[in-house]
Amino acid sequence: MKTGIITFLLIMAITTTGLAQTNDTMKTFDPAFAHTVYFWFKNPDNKSDMERFEASLTTFLKNSKFAKTNFVGKPPEATRDVVDGSFTYSLIVTFESAKAQEGYQNEEAHLIFIEECKDLWEKVIVYDSFGIKQ
């Protein structure tokens, strides 16, 4: 039994490692500058609003010339008092520098996304931060 479990885990580790190494589109997180955005929708349960937002956001991030990595999320069901799950979507985008982030603010892909979706949200909060050297 132990040998079977160990063999299974070993095969999974090799397979996972192989997939990670062959994925050329994988981008490495850049800790130089992070741009974190929280969106609160006017109608947070509206499925067509969510589909429209996600489609526009996907197109925008795919066409951004400045964003290095990105993460789009929705809040999990909060299990602790310190977790704020009141937002509809979160977006984390990393940049190689503050200057690259400034370029992103004015690029066409970003401006089109804002124009297409600005009527969906009632509130947006942005947190920008530089990475600390460790």
Domain boundaries, the chain: 27-130
pLDDT for 25 beyond 80: no
Q: What is the pLDDT of residue 132?
A: 84
Those residues with Cβ within 8 angstroms of residue 134's Cβ, 6 or more apart along the chain or in another chain: none
Query: Taking residues 90-116, what's their average pLDDT?
Result: 94
Average pLDDT over residues 44-56: 97
Q: How many CB atoms lie within 10 A of CB 62?
A: 10
Closest CA to 53 of 22, 78, 4, 88: 88
By three-state DSSP, how is residue 32 classified? coil
Give the model's confidence band at 105: pLDDT under 50 very low, under 70 low, under 90 confident, else very high. very high
Q: Band the pLDDT of 4: cuts 50, 70, 90.
A: very low
Q: What is the pLDDT of residue 3?
A: 46
CATH architecture for the domain at 27-130 = 2-Layer Sandwich (3.30)
Per DSSP, helices labelled H in 64-107 are 98-106
